């Protein structure tokens, strides 16, 4: 029996059901495919590619060390590549973990399913997350998820022979843009394990208090998200170790922090379930009553200023510039950036979300589009929250340290005024050697006026009968009882 084990968003050997079931017997060709079309999509970026390449190099090393084989890495059109492999190696079965991604990959999988059927190849897939795959039963969702996450990590022995494709291209042909590697997260299982250990041992101590500021969140959040996205480590493994750690610690606040962290692992699957149940949320408002609200008002100049971190709101600009350099930012700041784009700048989330997908190394469509819609008020079922970027600046960057680091034009401005440099008088500006409007932009919108306008517009829809009726259906379909988000 000749089989393919196809690594996709599960770049590990431990707790990888597809791999462990494949290697029980037969001849196995372990593969990874860089899909050319996928990496040309507007949501793809070098942040993703670099992370994957590093993860693959390590996976290849582990396969070498533990099984004396190599990973076969291909680049091109997935269907064409699989056609060739199946023919050349006379493949009977394919093993992979189910993926829950965007329309491009859903369509690809549908084509592959038909192709495999036509070739009499059996496609075995496994569920690496707590997602209900058949009929969604919201009353059972949490119980099912708990059963999944508390189940044993899978391990297994190999009783197979590994195959290697001699005709492989060198995947170093893949081009990535220059990114300063000193700022970005490294891919690979070793980094994932190091992060988990350091988080559980010490970094999580003040997780709850420190996660909201970009200054402290960088260290106090787990930073596991890209590793979860690409599967360097399984969600179960993280949950398992966290649970064990919680049982050994005495400090009440540390315990509370780890409980808060643990519940976020359930949110991860809860959001992916939403996309699985309703893939259209990648492209359309969850609540159709909001259709047409922003779509025709898109201001390209505002979009450009937001993308480049030149809005004239120092904290917003600092967060964007930090994200551009690092490929990560904490939850609160992601929410503020989206809220600012969707409300004060009145930009349609369908365009801003695609841009940010590129910047987030951890881009996970299920979480991403649900959160974009929540922070833009288009779900109808979540409370409307319009972040005040000036308040966030004073709260999360009290003495302006973050702003000064990421918006160096403002380096000379004293603590209090660095949050609102437009308040500097002409003489102050002269004295500090900066001209607002020239060296650093004046605010592109008036915060109070734009917030008020946005609030009126969004509430107009929210209180409409149409929005309320649709919201009821959405709640019935998507809410998972006993999860607070
Ligand atoms: C607009 C917006 C877009 C987002 N897009 C993504 C995305 O593409 N990919 C992504 O992984 N997260 C996304 N998030 C959620 C969250 O911001 C990140 O998961 C988190 O910042 C990652 O850092 P961390 O691993 O240190 O998180 P931690 O705080 O250490 O959390 C641990 C893990 O829990 C999960 N998690 C944490 N917060 C959430 C949440 N609110 N919803 C669902 N799962 C959560 C993630 O898997 C995360 O890695 C988005 C949030 C917003 C507001």
- By alpha-carbon position, which residue is closest to atom 43 of ligand 1? 268
The dihedral region occupied by 15, where left means phi > 0, alpha psi between -120 and 50, and beta the remainder, is: left
Q: Say what the pTM is.
A: 0.96
Instruction: Say yes or no to pLDDT of 250 above 50.
Output: yes
Question: Residue 234's CB: how many other CB atoms inside 10 A?
Answer: 24
With beta carbons less than 8 A apart as the criterion, state whether 380 and 467 touch.
yes
- Which residues make beta-bridge pairs with 94? 4, 123
- Mutation pick for ligand 1 pocket among 349, 362, 368 (CB with most ligand atoms within 8 Å): 362
Instruction: Say yes or no to pLDDT of 481 above 60.
Output: no
- Mutation pick for ligand 1 pocket among 196, 256, 266, 367 (CB with most ligand atoms within 8 Å): 367
C-alpha of residue 185 to centroid of ligand 1, in Å: 15
Residue 480 pLDDT grade (very low, low, confident, very high; cuts 50, 70, 90): low
C-alpha of residue 169 to centroid of ligand 1, in Å: 35
DSSP structure string for 318-344: HHHHHHHHHS---HHHHHHHHHIIIII
C-alpha of residue 363 to centroid of ligand 1, in Å: 9
209 or 136: whose pLDDT is higher?
Answer: 209
Burial (CB count within 10 angstroms: exposed 0-12, middle 13-18, buried 19+), residue 104: middle
C-alpha of residue 434 to centroid of ligand 1, in Å: 37
**Amino acid 171: pLDDT:** 67
Could you give the CA distance from residue 384 to residue 375 in angstroms, rounded to a whole number?
Answer: 8
Instruction: Say yes or no to pLDDT of 483 above 60.
Output: no
**Amino acid 485: pLDDT:** 42
Contact residues for 311 (Cβ-Cβ < 8 A; gap 6+): 302, 305, 317, 340, 345, 441, 443, 444
Pocket lining: 267 vs ligand 1, CB cutoff 6 Å: yes
DSSP H or E stretch at residue 215: helix 214-220
- Least confident range from 288-302, 327-341, 465-479: namely 465-479
Q: How far is CA 381 from the centre of its chain?
A: 22
Domains in the chain with CATH codes: 2-127 (3.40.50.620), 189-277 (1.25.40.80), 284-478 (1.10.579.10)
C-alpha of residue 356 to centroid of ligand 1, in Å: 13
Pocket lining: 331 vs ligand 1, CB cutoff 6 Å: yes
pLDDT in tens, 413-468: 998 899 999 999 999 999 999 999 999 999 999 999 999 999 999 999 999 999 99
């Amino acid at each position: 029996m000749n089989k393919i084990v196809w690594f996709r968003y599960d770049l590990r050997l431990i707790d990888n059901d597809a791999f462990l079931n494949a290697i029980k017997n037969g001849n196995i060709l372990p593969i990874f495919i860089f899909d050319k079309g996928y990496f040309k999509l507007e949501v793809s970026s070098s942040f993703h590619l670099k992370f994957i390449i590093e993860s693959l190099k390590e996976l290849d090393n582990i396969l070498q060390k533990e099984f004396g084989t190599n990973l076969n890495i291909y680049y091109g059109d997935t269907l064409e590549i699989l056609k060739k492999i199946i023919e050349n190696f006379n493949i009977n079965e394919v093993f992979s973990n189910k993926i829950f991604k965007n329309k491009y990959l859903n369509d690809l999988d549908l084509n592959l399913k038909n192709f495999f059927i036509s070739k009499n190849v059996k496609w075995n897939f496994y569920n690496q997350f707590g997602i209900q795959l058949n009929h969604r039963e919201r009353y059972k969702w949490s119980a099912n998820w708990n059963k999944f996450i508390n189940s044993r990590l899978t391990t297994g022995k190999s009783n197979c022979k590994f195959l290697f494709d001699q005709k492989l291209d060198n995947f170093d042909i893949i081009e990535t843009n220059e990114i300063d590697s000193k700022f970005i997260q490294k891919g690979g299982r070793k980094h994932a394990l190091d992060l988990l250990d350091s988080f559980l041992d010490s970094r999580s101590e003040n997780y709850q208090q420190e996660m909201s500021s970009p200054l402290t969140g960088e260290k106090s959040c787990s930073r596991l998200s890209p590793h979860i996205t690409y599967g360097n480590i399984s969600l179960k493994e993280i949950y398992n170790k966290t649970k064990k750690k919680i049982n050994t610690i005495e400090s009440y606040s540390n315990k509370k922090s780890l409980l808060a962290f643990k519940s976020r692992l359930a949110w991860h699957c809860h959001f992916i379930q939403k996309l699985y149940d309703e893939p259209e949320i990648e492209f359309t408002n969850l609540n159709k009553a909001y259709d047409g609200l922003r779509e025709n008002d898109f201001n390209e100049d505002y979009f450009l200023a937001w993308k480049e971190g030149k809005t004239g709101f120092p904290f917003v600009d600092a967060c964007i510039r930090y994200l551009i350099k690092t490929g990560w930012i904490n939850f609160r700041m992601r929410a503020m950036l989206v809220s600012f784009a969707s409300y004060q700048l009145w930009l349609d989330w369908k365009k801003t979300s695609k841009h940010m997908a590129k910047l987030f190394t951890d881009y996970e469509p299920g979480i991403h589009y649900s959160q974009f819609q929540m922070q833009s008020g288009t779900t109808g079922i979540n409370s409307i929250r319009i972040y005040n970027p000036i308040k966030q600046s004073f709260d999360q960057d009290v003495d302006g340290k973050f702003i000064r680091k990421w918006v160096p034009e403002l380096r000379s401005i004293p603590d209090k005024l660095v949050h609102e440099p437009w308040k500097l008088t002409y003489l102050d500006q002269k004295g500090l050697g900066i001209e607002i409007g020239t060296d650093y932009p004046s605010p592109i919108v008036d915060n109070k006026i734009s917030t008020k306008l946005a609030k009126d517009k969004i509430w107009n829809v929210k209180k409409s009968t149409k929005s309320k009726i649709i919201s009821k259906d959405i709640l019935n379909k998507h809410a998972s009882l006993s999860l607070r988000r």
